[in-house]
Amino acid sequence: MNQLILSFIIFLPAIVALGLMITTKEVKTVRNISFVTTTVVLALALKLFMDYEANSSMQFVVNTPWIESYGINYYLGLDGFSLTILMMIAILIPSSYLFLWEKENKSYFINMLLVQTGVTGALLSLDIVLFYFFWELMLIPIFLMIGMYGSGDKVATTLKVTIYTMAGSLFMLLAIFYLGMSYFNEFGSWSFAYNDLAKITSLDSSTKMWLFLAFLFAFAIKIPLFPVHTWIMATYKNAPTGAVFILSSIMAKLGIYAVIRFLIPIFPEEVALYSTELVAVGIFGMIYFGVAALTQEDVKRMFAYSSASHLSFIAAGVFSLTSYGLNGALYLIMAHAIATGALFLLVGNIQDQTGTKKIKELGGIAKKAPILTFIFAIMLFSNVGLPGTSGFVSEFLIIFGVFQFNIYLGIIAALSVIIGASYMLWMFQRAILQDRDESLGELKMKDLKIKEILALTPWIVLIFVMGFFPDIFTNIYEPTVSSYLQNILQIGATK
Amino acid sequence: MNEFILILPTLIVLVGALVLMLLSMYEKISTKTNIVATSLFLVLALVFSLINISSSYSVQAYEGFLHNVLTFDSFSNFFNTILILGTLLTVLIGESYFRNRDYFKGEFFSLILFALFGMMILTQSNELITAFIALEIASFAVYIMVGFNQDNSKRIEALFKYLVLGAFVGAFFLLGLVLVYGAVVSTSFTDIKVYIDNASVNDLVLVYIGLTLILFTFLFKIAAFPFQSWLLDVYQGAPMIVTAFMASTFKISIFAFFLRLIIDTISPIFDFWDGLLTIVVLVTLVIGTWLAITQEKVKRMLAASSIVHTGYILMAFVALTYENTQIANIDVSHSIMFYLLAYMLAALGSFGLISQINSKSVIRVTFSDFNGLAKQRPFYALMLTIFLLSLAGIPGTIGFIGKLYVFTETIKAGYILIAILAIIATIISIYYYFRLIAAMYFYDAKDECEIQNFNEKNISNYAVAFIAIATVIGGIGSAIIFFIPTLSIDTITNLTNIAIQSLFIK
């Protein structure tokens, strides 16, 4: 059973999606079955969580040949890194279904299922071609979702985001081929398993540099890091709520995850060599996107920048190559997914009800929708790192890690958190709390429905549990982090 | 091995062609009967070619009768199987297209079998004159098929452009053949190989010139630079289903012949053309990409994109290198064969499906005509999406695996710059393929493109669905869906391996 459980988690949504596509036209049936499917996946993920032994090894490994002639295997496995993110995906997706319950469209739900397969597949792949397979596959449903349910110039937007991200990954593909070939030349057999590729020693430093850049380019686009972030604005603005939620909460995290899983193990010297620059890019991105967020008049765009800002921050934590930085990054991956995901869902809800997402045209929401305001506030506080929330622990850890890495960058990182707090709270004050401008007329808005509240309740609980008892979570991946630093970077876990 | 079984597939196709030609005198025989008869011959030929598909052999059957002009080996059998399959699928997909157009009389089916016969002889030919005759048999059948569309005023232009240029370029083949003969005093591949192996540099001048001229014919037939200009107009003027046939099946036979010629006969001097072919590949990729992004008509876009795919395959040809008396990286030829199969499926599927959509009363021509197809005909849209994804090389389709092979081998042979340019061409190709997907899914249909009276249950739809499933299974294989036993990707690779090995059995 444990042999098959990873495959079930990956393929169940896709199989159900294909079945639904063929058999039924009824939106409600599709939605209900999809929701049940995602909860089954959650149950399976929980079982994995229970069976997982907190040590640094790869567990539940499946390794069967896929394309034997090139040594490409169906190679899956799970460690602390992937388990953390798997749990996050498995919890977030069913809740988002619950929240998006009223979307009267069949293919919306089917596409969400397909995305889940792509994302978990990429997450659990240990063979880099298999990873690429899922990595590209998850884009297609996103492409369809934006094109079908987006707003504004949705077709141009969806083409742009698809070409942009695929361009990045195609150069990565080229680098993957090159690595596979180098492995073949050195060892006489083909392999695309990441731990095999990490053994290659025959490459000279300039070739390695180019390959490193190709990988970095692909992952940086997905995260997105400055300066390859330009696709996010139009996308987050025009994409439907579900797609924005997936892009920011889940797919961007896979960009970070790919850095940890593939980039650092295969190119440890390059990462170590350029870590100062990479951390600096992360922190610069954090400030740059933060300042950009300050000037936005549109709530969704502000969140888009804020999300990019936090993701840069996570990247800075990862590239600091310290235990604190890496722990904090993993923690912030979860915290950010919950808080930002929920905020995007809530803004989507506000937009659907009021027809606007301009800060000026909102206001007075607190009176009309107190529950929404309350939840909004919790997510916001977590996002700005208020003590007692998950955001605080993660930001603290990352800043600590960056301090350890370089004291000046650390100071800048610490200060830049203030920017985040200021635009968030300012927006909250203007759009939600303050009374509505009378010239705008009556605000047509209802509070959250029971289903929507239910959908977000686990997230709220998680925020506080993660805020007050971080050990519960860090214990899961701490062994992986320390052995990772020791084995791959030959850095003592204490540093 | 029984020699008769080996020649049976070719014989069946020939007999089929003759029978249908005789039958075409009787006006009363319906198109449906013709289709059934053609399919029966093809299925029969397919069965006999499949019998030997996994055994390795090289036989010159009936030596006294055939004078060794034909070689029956696993290589030709592999390609013949693909060619027969391609023709069969063309006929099946075209079923409703044929029946909706009066001008597809019995002759057409005879011609398509003659074309197939020519192509099969081409892959089996063991010397240049036979190859030339086979090429002309196939070409002439295709010339006529191009001109079959009596509703299209462009057909005359297409037919003459193709006929005149084709005949002209065919003359290059003849001239090259004469020059090679002048040096070798034989046109047999075996003799040419012996001559090349033993000749000094000065002796080879005529051979170089002759083979270069033959190479021109090759480049023309596959529409590589600088001979790509006919393709758009010819593909545009030909009936859709004939375009499908030309883009997939016909092209494969040409590649098959040259693959044999290169690996089997001229490998010691093949590297001579590397510089030339590199330029051809680069410009073919650039021109094909440029043409593809500037087209407004879907059929022309697909036609132009087929030039880009030609570029990818030629890229692998460049990667073939010769060292120590043999081709050093024989794996490249596997990748070429795999890619050809992958491209055939996607091209047949996409052209065929569009012909299928067009076969009803409403014509869809430009990108915007395809608007909203997903709402009207979700299954058509889904299948066309699968084919387009395969053409674009997106994971999950056989096109991805094909690209994976070709690119890996090209990089392995050290042609990184070509690979980078090809990757850029691929990135741009995402734009024009996804543009069509976007049109189908993201816009509302035009009123005049509303489809009425659609018959869902006809053979054409099943044939297209079959190709779509094959495209996906070819991209996923058995390992990922390991609890469902299916054909794995390695099976195909093994078959290509056996086929190539048979070239070296002497």
DSSP, residue by residue, A246-287: IIIIIIHHHHHHHIIIIIHHHSHHHHHHTHHHHHHHHHHHHH
CA A464 to the chain's CA centroid: 20
Q: What pLDDT does A494 receive?
A: 39
Which residues of chain A have a CB within 8 Å of the CB of B493? 67-69
Other CB atoms within 10 Å distance of the CB of residue B294: 11
Contact call for residues B417 and B360 (beta carbons, < 8 A): no
**Six-digit token string for B470:** 């094959």
Q: Is A203 on the interface with B (CB under 8 A)?
A: no
Q: Which burial class, exposed, middle or buried, applies to B152 when counting CB atoms under 10 A from its CB (0-12, 13-18, 19+)? A: middle
Helix (H) or strand (E) holding A236: helix A232-238
Contact B412 A137 (CB under 8 A): no
Burial A63-100 (b: 16+ CB within 10 A, else e): eebbbbbbbbbbbbbbbbbbbbbbbbbbbbbbbbbbbb
The label of the residue with tokens 């739900």 reads A109
Q: Which burial class, exposed, middle or buried, applies to B411 when counting CB atoms under 10 A from its CB (0-12, 13-18, 19+)? A: buried
**Six-digit token string for B223:** 């529409």
**Six-digit token string for B364:** 């869809």
Q: What pLDDT does A493 receive?
A: 40
Per-residue pLDDT of chain B (506 residues; tens, 9 = 90+): 577 888 888 889 999 999 988 888 887 888 888 888 889 999 999 998 888 887 888 887 777 777 788 888 888 889 999 999 999 999 988 888 888 777 777 788 899 999 999 999 999 988 889 999 999 999 989 988 888 877 777 778 888 888 888 888 888 999 999 999 988 888 888 888 888 888 887 888 888 899 999 988 888 888 888 887 888 888 888 888 888 898 889 999 999 998 888 888 888 888 888 888 899 999 999 988 998 888 888 888 888 899 999 999 999 888 888 877 777 788 888 888 889 999 999 999 998 888 877 766 556 777 877 887 777 778 888 889 999 999 988 888 888 888 888 988 888 888 888 888 998 898 888 888 988 888 888 887 776 656 555 556 678 888 888 888 888 888 887 655 555 555 677 778 888 888 888 888 76
pLDDT band at A478 (very low <50, low <70, confident <90, very high): confident
User: What phi and psi values does residue A74 have, to the nearest 5 degrees?
Assistant: -85, 90
Residue in A21, A74, A162 nearest the CB of B430:
A162
Contact call for residues A114 and A140 (beta carbons, < 8 A): yes
Q: Which amino acid is at A188?
A: G
Spatial separation of the C-alpha atoms in residues B132 and B113, rounded to whole Å: 18
pLDDT band at A372 (very low <50, low <70, confident <90, very high): confident
Q: What pLDDT does B486 receive?
A: 56
Residues from B contacting A (CB-CB < 8 Å) are 334, 382, 389, 394-396, 400-401, 404-405, 407-408, 411-412, 416, 419-420, 423, 426-427, 430-431, 434-435, 437-438, 441-443, 477, 479-483, 489-490, 493-494
Interface test with A, best of B312, B415, B442, B495 (most A CBs within 10 A): B442
Q: Which amino acid is at B401?
A: I
Instruction: Map residue B413 onto helix, strand or coil.
Output: coil
Interface test with B, best of A9, A133, A182 (most B CBs within 10 A): A133
For residue A82, give how far its alpha carbon lies from the nearest alpha carbon of chain B (Å): 20
Spatial separation of the C-alpha atoms in residues B342 and B337, rounded to whole Å: 9
As for how many domains chain A has, the answer is 1
Q: What does the H/E/C string look like for B449-460?
A: HCCCCCCCCCHH
Closest by CA to A14, choosing from B466, B377, B476, B391, is B476
Q: Which amino acid is at B371?
A: N
The strand pairing partners of A358, in sequence order, are: A298
Spatial separation of the C-alpha atoms in residues A193 and B265, rounded to whole Å: 38
Name the residue range of residue A434's domain: 4-494
For residue A48, give how far its alpha carbon lies from the nearest alpha carbon of chain B (Å): 20
Residue partners of B306: CB distance under 8 A and separation at least 6: B223, B231, B235, B247, B251, B288, B347
Contact call for residues A431 and A299 (beta carbons, < 8 A): yes
Q: Is A66 on the interface with B (CB under 8 A)?
A: yes
Residues 170-189 of A with CB under 8 A from B: 170-171, 173-174, 177-178, 180-181, 184
Contact B408 A70 (CB under 8 A): yes
Which residues of chain A have a CB within 8 Å of the CB of B412? 181, 184
Contact B395 A134 (CB under 8 A): yes
Lowest mean pLDDT among A213-222, A278-287, A323-332, B471-480: B471-480
A433: Cα within 13 Å, side-chain hemisphere: 10
Contact call for residues A481 and A330 (beta carbons, < 8 A): yes
Q: Percent helix, strand, coil in chain B (nearest 5)?
A: 75, 5, 20
Where is pLDDT greater, at A223 or B178? Answer: B178
Contact B411 A163 (CB under 8 A): no
Q: What pLDDT does A328 receive?
A: 85
Residue partners of A319: CB distance under 8 A and separation at least 6: A259, A271, A275, A278, A279, A282, A325
Burial A418-432 (b: 16+ CB within 10 A, else e): ebbbebbeebbeebb
A160: Cα within 13 Å, side-chain hemisphere: 16
Q: Which amino acid is at A281?
A: V
A371: Cα within 13 Å, side-chain hemisphere: 14
What pLDDT, in 10s, does the model give residues A74-104?
Answer: 888 888 888 888 888 888 888 888 777 777 6
Spatial separation of the C-alpha atoms in residues B220 and B230, rounded to whole Å: 9
The strand pairing partners of B72, in sequence order, are: B59
A57 dihedral zone (left: phi>0; alpha: psi -120 to 50; beta): beta
Does pLDDT of A156 surpass 90?
Answer: no
Lowest mean pLDDT among A126-135, A224-233, B8-17: A224-233
pTM for the model stands at: 0.89
A182: closest chain B residue by CA? B412
Reported ipTM: 0.84
User: What phi and psi values does residue B383 have, to the nearest 5 degrees?
Assistant: -65, -40
Which residues of chain B have a CB within 8 Å of the CB of A140? 389, 394
Where is pLDDT greater, at B104 or A493? Answer: B104
Contact A66 B489 (CB under 8 A): yes
B326 dihedral zone (left: phi>0; alpha: psi -120 to 50; beta): beta
- Hey, where are the domains in chain B? 1-503
Helix (H) or strand (E) holding B59: strand B58-59
Residue in A21, A132, A181 nearest the CB of B395:
A132
